[in-house]
């Protein structure tokens, strides 16, 4: 009887497990083998490991960083210093401070070339962006042979600008050109596209837009494909038509991509030189004489490298201000 009671009382008691609540206070202080002790010993990566990871990452980045400093940052600093001198091809130079910039502000040819560049940018950028956006929208909705047409529209971009300029110069030729021949069938013309001061910039802008719109088209097409289809389907259920969906759904979601395209096309427009050099030589009567053309003549025709460097830095500031304005008008996110 007493043995049975002893067994029952023993069964009702909790037997402490090894390393459990029954362990000594000294074991708790030492953070023994229990779960609590293991949690207290868990720490992050050691400082030495982090340092090794940082050095490994720097080793991978270092080659590109060196190339950037040598071929990008270095020439920029050199151009700034060169613009403060009257360096000539003979190697003679002297420090003249801001004299090149003061001379630039008083140079009528600078303002004329800047006006030509601004007008060309106003013509070229909307033309290229609209062509790229329209083509991207059509390719986005086309299922059949999408890859073929995408490659076909991108093909002019990989051709040389000199080759494109030569082809379009032949197209624009008076009497013998392809475009004048087509206009002759309609009893229109002849039209001297490259010899008329009013038509030369639009003609060159068409050439450059044809050559370069394929790149922006691919970027905009990628942006369109990244927009969730569910959003357009929801707008359709709410009664939105195709134009309403494009205006109030697609364009706002495409704004970051559109801003990027506007910036790169504007930068390319301000740097136009090749097409004008090949097609018109800056004429007629400097109607296609761009700012980069002015820089080229100053540096490589008159060998005034300090003055040419000043023109290049002013062009950089103009592009920077224009990009900031675009950021303000287009790239800003809605509140």
Which CATH number is associated with domain 107-331? 1.10.3720.10
DSSP, collapsed to helix, strand or coil, labels residue 80 as: helix
Q: In whole angstroms, what is the distance from residue 272 CA to residue 298 CA? A: 16
Q: pLDDT tens, 194-237?
A: 999 999 999 999 999 999 999 999 999 999 999 888 888 888 88
pLDDT of residue 16: 47
Q: Which residue has the higher pLDDT, 192 or 326?
A: 192
Residue located via tokens 């080229």: 296
Check: CB of residue 161 under 8 Å from CB of residue 210: no
Residues 190, 237: Cα–Cα separation, whole Å: 53
- Which of 34, 30, 31 lies closest to 19, judged by CA? 34
- pLDDT, residue 2, reads 43
Q: 3-class SS at 299? A: helix
Nearest to 211 by CA among 154, 268, 169: 154
- Read off the pLDDT of each residue in 312-333 and give the average, rounded to a whole number: 84
What pLDDT, in 10s, does the model give residues 237-246?
A: 888 888 888 8
Tell me, what's the pLDDT at 188? 84
Tally of CA atoms within 13 A in the half-sphere of 309 that contains its CB: 21
Mean pLDDT of 307-326: 91
pTM of the model: 0.78
**Number of helices (H), then strands (E), in the chain:** 18, 0
Q: Rounded to an integer, what distance in angstroms lies between the CA atom of residue 71 and that of residue 304? A: 22
Q: Can you give the pLDDT at residue 334?
A: 46
- Tell whether the torsion through CA atoms of 157, 159, 161 and 167 is positive or negative: negative
């Amino acid at each position: 009887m007493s043995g049975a009671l002893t067994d029952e009382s023993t069964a009702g008691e909790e037997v402490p497990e090894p390393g459990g609540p029954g362990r000594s206070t000294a074991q708790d202080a030492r953070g023994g083998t229990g779960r609590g002790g293991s949690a207290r010993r868990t720490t992050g990566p050691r400082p030495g490991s982090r340092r090794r990871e940082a050095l490994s990452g720097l080793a991978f980045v270092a080659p590109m960083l060196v190339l950037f400093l040598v071929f990008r940052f270095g020439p920029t600093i050199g151009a700034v210093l060169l613009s403060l001198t009257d360096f000539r091809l003979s190697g003679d130079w002297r420090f003249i401070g801001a004299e090149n910039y003061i001379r630039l502000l008083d140079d009528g040819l600078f303002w004329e070339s800047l006006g030509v560049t601004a007008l060309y940018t106003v013509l070229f950028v909307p033309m290229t962006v609209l062509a790229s956006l329209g083509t991207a929208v059509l390719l986005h909705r086309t299922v059949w042979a999408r890859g073929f047409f995408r490659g076909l529209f991108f093909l002019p971009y990989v051709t040389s600008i000199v080759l494109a300029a030569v082809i379009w110069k032949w197209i624009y030729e008076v009497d013998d050109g392809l475009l004048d021949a087509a206009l002759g069938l309609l009893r229109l013309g002849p039209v001297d596209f490259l010899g008329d001061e009013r038509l030369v910039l639009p003609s060159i802008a068409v050439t450059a837009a044809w050559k370069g719109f394929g790149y922006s088209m691919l970027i905009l097409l990628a942006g369109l494909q990244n927009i969730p289809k569910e959003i357009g389907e929801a707008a359709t259920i709410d009664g939105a038509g195709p134009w309403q969906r494009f205006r109030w759904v697609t364009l706002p979601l495409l704004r970051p991509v559109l801003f990027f395209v506007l910036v790169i096309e504007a930068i390319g427009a301000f740097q136009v030189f090749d097409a004008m050099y090949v097609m018109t030589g800056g004429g007629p009567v400097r109607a296609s004489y761009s700012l980069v053309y002015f820089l080229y003549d100053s540096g490589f025709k008159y060998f005034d490298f300090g003055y040419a460097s000043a023109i290049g830095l002013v062009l950089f500031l103009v592009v920077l201000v224009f990009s900031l304005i675009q950021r303000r008008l287009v790239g800003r996110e809605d509140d």
